[in-house]
Chains A and B, each alone.
Chain A
Amino acid sequence: MTARISRWPGIELRAADLIEGKVTQTRFRPDAKYAWSAGEAMSRFLEELQNGRFIARTCHKCERILFPPRMFCEECFRPTDEWTFIQDTGTIETFSVSYLDTDAKRIVEPILVGVVSLDGASPKMGMMHYFGEMTKEEIRIGMRVKAEWKPPGDRRGSVLDIRYFRPLRED
């Protein structure tokens, strides 16, 4: 900017200014709790997770098998047609090795997380999940993996009914 503008507004504060009360401030904690409806498609999706299975929806117009399942095809913009089960094996599309937890706190043992495209669904249809039974040196894009399910009694109808995806062993 030209010499025309000489004063750039903004009064900087440090974290300490707030913590030590050097400036006045008002504190507030909203108390927001939610119960999100899973809806038609996700209710069935969660029910089948509890059964140890992945379920998808088909769209006959674009001939895609949609996963996670949805009641309308977003491309053709029409209701999807049928339920269909897909496999619990797939391929790692991308991943990250995270040294941060959900609150941005540092962790020592990294979390391996990424996207798996599932066999039986249309190409690239995937879900995010953890990876286990592999080291950060071993993980790579293109690795073949399988869902490691919790025992039936521990499953609740949640994506956490899968512990993680692990390398697919030909046994």
Chain B
Amino acid sequence: MIGAGMTLFRRRLQETGKEMCFEATKMALDSAGLTRADVDMVVCGTAPDAFDGVAMKGEYLLDGSGGYRKPCTRVFTGGGTGVFSTIAGWWHVASGLADVVLVVNEEKMSSCQPHPQSVFANIWDPILDRPLKPNLVWIFAMEMNRYMTVYGVKKEDIARVAVKNKRNAVGHPCAQLADPNITVDDVLNSEVMAWPVQRLDISPPSDGASAVILASEDFIRKRRIKDRAWISGVGWCIDSTMWTDRDLVFPEYVARAAKHAYKMAKIDAPRRQIDFAEPYDPFDYKELHHLEGLLLADKGEAPVLTREGVTERDGKLPVCPSGGLLGVGNPIAATMGMKIGELFWQLTGQAGKRQIPHEVHTGVSQAWGDLMQYGSVVVMKG
């Protein structure tokens, strides 16, 4: 990876989807010293068309993504797109078909009225679930409840994740919800949405775009590109939509994706060999759930590590040094800016106020999506 860019993440931005893509893509190209003419192929990652309200959204966004008259692909795996589109970009280069690939992710959730919740509802099965008029928060609440009950996790320990990430986000120039003063009590006193989920446990809907540039070794050598980080492992996995048949306490699909990525990266002891992690944190309990899925903590151990400060930016295993979705915002696919972009910026020493104070060489990022079923994992090294 040789460049990255992103827009501000906010509840609503004036730019159209195309314009947001242009801003992020231009930033990425400028940061790597490239022009659109250097780009061979483009991958666009964007979640349901229904948020922006434009059908064939990938095609719609392509001119802003630098894709005019170039080979282009759109990929979409729900929330997993934030990491998965980078994996798809990796295919393009690793296969030998392209030397330089742009990966551009975007979401404009503010178009959807009165609230993006209205179209989230369509993810539920029309016959089994929708007649019950469910709210999407219910399914997170049910998963969170199961996790808390099976391992005896207290809400205080889960709230610590929201506090850590929103404080970490203070160092992020694009952050929507950074808060240097937030406390565990603030989270525990926030409005109950669907118990056990409370308002400050959740990341907000956002508008935003992010872009990264992937290049082959040949290209990097020829152009003498100094700022680069290598993708050493990729993995992805999906479970069934019959989510009521599964025990939600452990994300098996994340573990499988992680195992593939670690194998490729020749990592057999992830807890020792991974220096920092950007797991997907749309809810605070999800960071814990995913740390265990990523095999960076034993089952039920992630809350303990959090309580002990291991996952703070200056801890032994910094988790979400970017501020995550909880602090920076959640424009679904565009979260690539924090999940993948952050790995790049940390590994090339460009993370500014968020730079992890000790040396890091290997990071893992993970995104998650759909009906509690999709996991995508990327391992990067400096």
18 A/B residue pairs, CB under 8 Å, sorted by A: A1-B173, A3-B352, A4-B31, A9-B23, A10-B7, A10-B10, A10-B15, A10-B174, A13-B13, A15-B12, A46-B127, A74-B240, A96-B137, A96-B197, A97-B141, A141-B146, A141-B149, A160-B131
A18–B12 touching, CB < 8 Å: yes
Task: Indicate if the CB atoms of B142 and A95 lie closer than 8 Å.
Answer: yes
How far is A93 from B133 in the complex, measured between Cα atoms in Å? Answer: 20
- Whether B134 sits at the interface, judged by CB under 8 Å, is yes
Taken together as a complex, chains A and B put the C-alpha atoms of A2 and B129 apart, in Å, by 48
Q: What is the CA–CA distance of A73 and B11 in the complex, to the nearest angstrom?
A: 42
| In the bound complex, CA of A79 to CA of B239 (Å) | 19
Binds A, one of B58-66, B243-251, B299-307: B243-251
Residue in contact with A128 in the complex, picked from B7, B12, B132, B137, CB distance below 8 Å: B132
- Give chain A residues whose Cβ lies under 8 Å from the Cβ of B245: 66-67, 124-126
B37 close to A (CB within 8 Å): no
Residues of A within 8 Å of B128, CB to CB, are 68, 127-128, 159
Q: Which residues of B contact A1 (CB under 8 A)?
A: 173, 345, 350-352
CA gap between A121 and B138 in the complex, in Å = 24
**A113 proximity list for chain B (CB < 8 A):** 132, 134, 138, 142
Interface presence of B193 (CB below 8 A) = yes
Whole-angstrom distance from the CB of B296 to the nearest CB of chain A? 24
Complex interface: stretch among B74-82, B96-104, B110-118, B278-286: B110-118
Tell me, in angstroms, the Cα distance from A23 to B199 when the chains sit together.
30
> What is the distance, in angstroms, from A50's C-beta to the closest C-beta of chain B?
13
Q: Are A13 and B14 in contact (CB under 8 A)?
A: yes
Docked-complex contact A129 and B132, CB < 8 angstroms: yes
Confirm or deny: A85 has a beta carbon within 8 angstroms of a beta carbon on chain B.
no
A76 to B24, CA, bound (A): 44
Is A42 close to B, CB under 8 A?
A: yes
CA distance A97 to B146 in the complex (A): 13
Given that A1-B173, A46-B127 are contacting pairs, would A11 and B145 also be in contact in the complex, using a CB cutoff of 8 Å? no
A135 sits at the interface (CB 8 A): no
Interface residues of B (CB under 8 A from A): 5-15, 20, 23-24, 27, 31, 53, 110, 114-115, 117-118, 121, 126-129, 131-135, 137-138, 141-143, 145-146, 149, 173-174, 191-197, 207-208, 240, 242, 244-248, 345, 350-352
Q: Which of A2, A70, A160 contacts B350 (CB 8 A)?
A: A2
Taking Cβ atoms with an 8 Å cutoff, the residues of A that contact B are: 1-5, 8-15, 18, 23, 28, 30, 34, 36, 38, 42, 46, 66-68, 70, 74, 93-104, 110, 113-115, 124-130, 136, 141, 158-160
The 8 Å CB contact of A36, one of B127, B146, B345, is B127
A68 shortest CB reach to chain B, Å? 6
Partner among A46, A99, A141 whose Cβ is within 8 Å of the Cβ of B193: A99
Write out the residue numbers on chain A whose beta carbons fall within 8 Å of the beta carbon of B133. 101-102
Contact, CB under 8 Å: B208 / A10: yes
Minimum-distance CB pairs A-B, first 8: A10-B8, A96-B141, A98-B194, A9-B23, A97-B195, A102-B133, A11-B14, A94-B146
Q: Do B129 and A128 touch (CB < 8 A)? A: yes
Q: Is the Cβ of A96 less than 8 Å from the Cβ of B174?
A: no
- Nearest chain B CB to A36's CB is how many angstroms away? 5
Structural contact, B131 and A159, CB atoms closer than 8 A = yes
How near does chain B come to A20, taking the closest CB pair, in angstroms?
14
Residues on A with beta carbons closer than 8 Å to the beta carbon of B138: 96, 98, 113
Q: A4-B31, A42-B127, A96-B145 are in contact. Are A103 and B246 (CB under 8 A)?
A: no
Q: Report the minimal beta-carbon distance from B198 to chain A, rounded to whole angstroms.
A: 10
* Shortest Cβ distance from residue B354 to the other chain A in the assembled complex, whole angstroms: 9
Residues of A within 8 A of B248 (CB): 94
A5 / chain B contacts, CB cutoff of 8 Å:
5, 27, 31, 173
Is there an interface contact between A103 and B117, defined as CB atoms closer than 8 Å? yes
**CB pair B132 A130 closer than 8 Å:** yes
New contact pairs (18) apart from A9-B20, A74-B240, A96-B141, CB-CB < 8 Å: A4-B31, A9-B7, A10-B7, A10-B10, A10-B20, A12-B8, A12-B10, A23-B14, A30-B53, A34-B126, A94-B146, A96-B197, A100-B193, A102-B135, A104-B137, A114-B145, A124-B245, A125-B244
